[in-house]
């Protein structure tokens, strides 16, 4: 079986393939028999790619000098369950967080009250059920719940010791990168959406698979010979390069398939726009067509 859509097979199985039936009183245009219809062999590209990349990032963090031993022992638990290991420490120095705060003993301005030591709370009005009596909300000033009126809090960076070290941290993350996409050749939008829907979820046959990189030689029955990919293979190539970048590829399974499409275009008559139809072989082997209504 072949996946090549041909005019001969389309005439035998699909004629008439009518476009513009709704717009024209005299029945529209049969793309398979009308005068001046252009048939272009174009190809869609289907990408199914999964890549697992090991990404290593390094950063510096300032920590209290008294935390150095504990940190070197256990590392740092980061967001998303990823752990950071410690590569080394700088010499101890003055904590940069509280150095400019102007307070003694390693304290900084309380960020909750902004240094006022107080905060306002709203006292809720009392409700008397049955009488619908309401009182206006009243405000009351109380001591800040974070600093308890002290206006400053212990510096979170140095823990009040005023001495810190800069830790060099390394994070190793395994990043899955997935991409499933149908790249269509230039077609009218209406055809695009329906065609993508037909091709997006199928399992493409191995004979339509294209070689990617080195070491692969998929079977080829000539189904795609003479079909024009326009620039879609270059776009897919760039997509794959981006998926393989910025890290060490640990595992990958990337499949690229071509899908031959016979695009029929009839010139617009009496001011009507150009009519278009796409003929292709479906995954199960039946010839199918979509027309621009």
> Which position among 28, 84, 157, 209 is part of the footprint of Zn ion (CB under 5 A)?
157
Q: Residue 98 interacts with Zn ion (CB under 5 A)? A: yes
**DSSP code per residue over 62-96:** EEEGGGHHHHHHH-EE-GGG-EEEEEEE---EE-H
Rounded to a whole number of angstroms, the minimum distance from the CB of residue 139 to Zn ion is 18
**Cβ of residue 90: shortest distance to Zn ion, in angstroms?**
15
DSSP code for 206: G
Choose one: 68-76, 97-105, 220-228, 257-265; the region binding Zn ion (CB under 5 A): 97-105
Shortest CB 61 distance to Zn ion, Å: 13
Pick out residues in 4-63 that bind Zn ion (CB under 5 A).
Answer: none
Between residues 94 and 127, which has the closer beta carbon with respect to Zn ion? 94
Closest approach of Cβ 49 to Zn ion, in Å? 48
Give the range of 25-33, 157-165, 215-223, 234-242 binding Zn ion by CB under 5 A.
157-165
Backbone angles phi, psi at 99, to 5 degrees: -60, -40
3-class DSSP assignment, residue 239: helix
Q: Quote the CA–CA distance of 13 and 16 in Å, as a whole number.
A: 9
- Give the residue among 189, 187, 244, 188 at the shortest CA–CA distance from 212: 244
Residues 229-248 touching Zn ion, rule: CB under 5 A, are: none
- Listed in sequence order, the residues at least 6 apart from 85 whose beta carbon sits closer than 8 Å to its beta carbon are 75, 169, 170, 171, 172
Q: Which of 18, 110, 165, 167 binds Zn ion (CB under 5 A)?
A: 110
Rounded to an integer, what distance in angstroms lies between the CA atom of residue 73 and that of residue 71?
A: 5
Burial of 20 (0-12, 13-18, 19+ CB in 10 A): buried
Report the nearest approach of Zn ion to the CB of residue 123 (Å).
20
DSSP state letters, 114-161:
TTSSEEEEEEPPP-BTTTTB----EEEEEE-TTTTT-SEEE-TTTTTS
The contact mask relative to Zn ion for 113-152 (x = CB under 5 A, - = no) is: x------------------------------x-xx-----
Cα–Cα dist 62/60, whole Å: 7
Site string for Zn ion, 245-264 (x = CB under 5 A): --------------------
Shortest CB 108 distance to Zn ion, Å: 7
171-200 residues in contact with Zn ion (CB under 5 A) are none
Task: Based on the shown chain and the rule CB under 5 A, indicate whether residue 97 belongs to the binding site for Zn ion.
Answer: yes
Question: Pick from 257, 252, 254, 253: which is nearest to 205 by CA?
Answer: 257
- Asked if 175 and 53 touch (Cβ cutoff 8 Å), the reply is yes
Residue with Cβ nearer Zn ion (110 or 281) = 110
Q: How many residues bind Zn ion (CB under 5 A)?
A: 13
Tell me which of 17, 155, 240, 264 binds Zn ion, using CB under 5 A: 155
**Shortest Cβ 93–Zn ion spacing (Å):** 11
The residue (of 160 and 283) whose beta carbon lies closer to Zn ion is 160
CB of 180 to Zn ion, least distance (A): 50
Question: Interface with Zn ion by CB under 5 A: which residues?
Answer: 95, 97-98, 106, 110, 112-113, 144, 146-147, 155, 157-158
């Amino acid at each position: 079986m072949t996946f090549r859509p041909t005019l001969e097979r389309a005439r035998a199985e699909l004629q008439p393939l009518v476009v513009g039936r709704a717009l024209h009183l005299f029945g529209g245009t049969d793309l398979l028999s009308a005068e001046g219809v252009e048939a272009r062999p174009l190809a869609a590209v289907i990408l199914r790619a999964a890549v697992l990349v090991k990404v290593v990032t390094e950063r510096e963090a300032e920590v209290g000098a008294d935390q150095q031993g504990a940190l070197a022992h256990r590392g740092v638990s980061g967001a998303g369950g990823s752990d950071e290991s410690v590569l080394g420490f700088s010499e101890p120095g003055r904590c940069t967080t509280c150095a400019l705060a102007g307070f003694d003993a390693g304290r900084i301005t309380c960020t909750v009250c902004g240094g006022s030591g107080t905060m306002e709370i709203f006292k809720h009005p009392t409700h008397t059920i049955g009488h619908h009596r309401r009182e206006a909300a009243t405000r009351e000033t109380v001591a800040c719940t974070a600093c308890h009126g002290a206006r400053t809090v212990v510096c979170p960076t140095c823990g009040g010791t005023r001495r810190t070290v800069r830790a060099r941290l390394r994070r190793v993350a395994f990043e899955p990168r997935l991409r499933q996409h149908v790249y269509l050749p230039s077609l009218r939008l209406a055809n695009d959406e329906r065609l993508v829907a037909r091709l997006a979820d199928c399992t493409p046959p191995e004979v339509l698979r294209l070689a990617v990189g080195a070491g692969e030689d998929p079977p080829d029955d000539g189904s795609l010979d003479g079909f024009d990919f326009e620039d879609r293979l270059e776009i897919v190539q760039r997509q794959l390069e981006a998926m393989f970048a910025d890290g060490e590829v640990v595992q990958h399974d990337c499949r690229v398939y071509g899908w031959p499409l016979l695009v029929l275009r009839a010139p617009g008559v009496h001011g009507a726009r150009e009519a278009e139809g796409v003929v292709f072989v479906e995954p199960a082997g039946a010839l199918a067509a979509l027309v621009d209504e």
